[in-house]
Structure 1
Amino acid sequence: MTMDPTIHSVRAGRSVRPGAVAKSRGGARRTASLIAGGAALAMLMLAGCGGAPTAPQAPTASPPIGTAPAPPSAGSTAEESSPDARALQPPTSQREIEVKRATESPALVTGVRFAGHPGFDRVVIDLRHAVPGYSVRWVDEFVQDGSGKIIKTRGKAYLQVALSPANAHTETGDSTWTGGPVYPTGLTNVLNVVRIGDFEAVVGVGLALNRRAGFRVFSQSSPDRLVIDVAH
């Protein structure tokens, strides 16, 4: 009996016909072609779905928060509604200030506050209605408006603030700024705040200082107030 020649597979340990080997090789070629074609098609589909990746955008800088217009330099008749970061620095000018302003009705002084800051002391005159005109000048002593009496207070330099038109009393005559007339502060340079007077639509406020130093003045609103900073 005649038998077909065989090819022995060493690894499998079995015989394989030559025709079967040819068929197997042909099937492998077709499988490889299908895989290559599928990969190319997938790449084309990915390219069609989107372009090149975009570079990340740099974050935009946010504007600083809380900044405000600059205050006037001491000695100027102009003023701003509120200070900026420069108002946190000690003032240097000792020039006197005068601001004239017309208002519909006199401002009402309701009290005076004070506090220490790094390099300067701050005095705040609280008001009802708009901030009126004012002047700030150096004096030798505090003289009470109306009576002309000298108000004695501890200090080596004296800064006097006058607001006009302004009152420190109601229409019935009740005082809206009580106490005093001398208010000790416990601060570094502003030793005492003095209620000088409330006479003929002029309210006088005195600052008794430990030494003569630079100062600045500016107004603020909501609520209305006049701010005086005095360097240490």
Structure 2
Amino acid sequence: MNRTLVPLVLVSLLLPAAGCGSVTQTATSSPSPSGTVTTAPADPVATPTPTPSAVPAGLLPPTSTKEIEVDRPIDTQPTVTGARFAEHQGFDRVVIDLSGEVPGYTARWVPELLQDGSGDRVNVKGGAYLRLTLTPAVAHTEAGTPTWKGGPIFQAKLGNVQNVVKIGDFEGVVSVGVVLDRKAPFRVLEQKSPNRLVVDIAH
């Protein structure tokens, strides 16, 4: 008797936990003036990134464009280990992965992205720029080895988020630039297990 065996392939996709938490947020003043030093164009680096945490059903797109500032003094500065991004219904999500506690942070609109320390302009084009600053935080080991690999420009090409850029790891401050197609409402959430900072930006 002839039998035909049909191979089955099972693909499993593991996603991080989807717990969301919110924090007290305060609108800040206008961003600091920009510098004028320019650098040679940086070639964007397309780096495969894991999918961000699953979005809870019924989570609507953000509705406020107000800048955010959260002050949180902590004893031990956390380490930024990477960034992830994905498109969801009505908004894009950028996740900053952390080893350690969630630090204080700001989210501010800026006219262009400038590198921390040098003040050099990051040559990326967009319709709007959102600058995230985490403090205290680092993105390297004690030996100076980067803990957030790749970049500095990560191509996203989502509904609104075009690029995510490493723009600073300097004197206990880690800065991340989000290059957008247009200015839009956003929110910042804190998530646990593992700790991470989540930025949702409407399309």
Structure 2 gaps, min length 5: 1-16, 29-54
In structure 2, give the amino acid aligned to 1:197.
G
Partner SS state of residue 167, structure 1:
coil
Partner of 2:191: 220
8 Å contact from structure 2 (residues 80, 148) kept in 1: yes
Dislocated runs of 4+, deviation >2 Å: 66-77, 83-86
CA distance in 2, matches of 1:107, 1:131: 7
- How far 1:71 moved relative to its partner? 3.3
CA distance in 1, matches of 2:74, 2:27: 20
Q: Which of 186, 201, 208 lines up with 2:172 in the alignment?
A: 201
8 Å contact from structure 1 (residues 161, 204) kept in 2: yes
Partner of 1:104: 75
CA distance in 2, matches of 1:69, 1:124: 12
CA distance in 2, matches of 1:126, 1:68: 14
CA distance in 1, matches of 2:21, 2:191: 12
* Greater per-residue helix proportion: 1
CA RMSD of aligned residues (A): 2.3
Instruction: Give the paired residue count.
Output: 161
Question: Could you tell me the TM-score, scaled by structure 2's length?
Answer: 0.74
Partner SS state of residue 63, structure 2:
coil
CA distance in 1, matches of 2:115, 2:19: 37
In structure 1, give the amino acid aligned to 2:110.
V
The higher relative CO (CA closer than 8 Å, separation ≥ 6) is in 2
8 Å contact from structure 1 (residues 120, 231) kept in 2: yes
Indicate whether 1:71 and 2:22 are aligned. yes
- How far 1:150 moved relative to its partner? 0.1
Structure with bigger gyration radius: 1
Question: Could you tell me the TM-score, scaled by structure 1's length?
Answer: 0.65
- Residues 1-232 of structure 1 correspond to what in structure 2 (within 5 A)? 71=22, 75=26, 88-232=59-203
CA distance in 1, matches of 2:202, 2:72: 27
Partner of 1:53: none
- How far 1:209 moved relative to its partner? 0.2
Structure 1 gaps, min length 5: 1-65, 78-82
1:146-198 deviations in Å (ceiling 9; x for gaps): 11100011211000000000000000100001211111002010000010110
8 Å contact from structure 1 (residues 154, 192) kept in 2: no
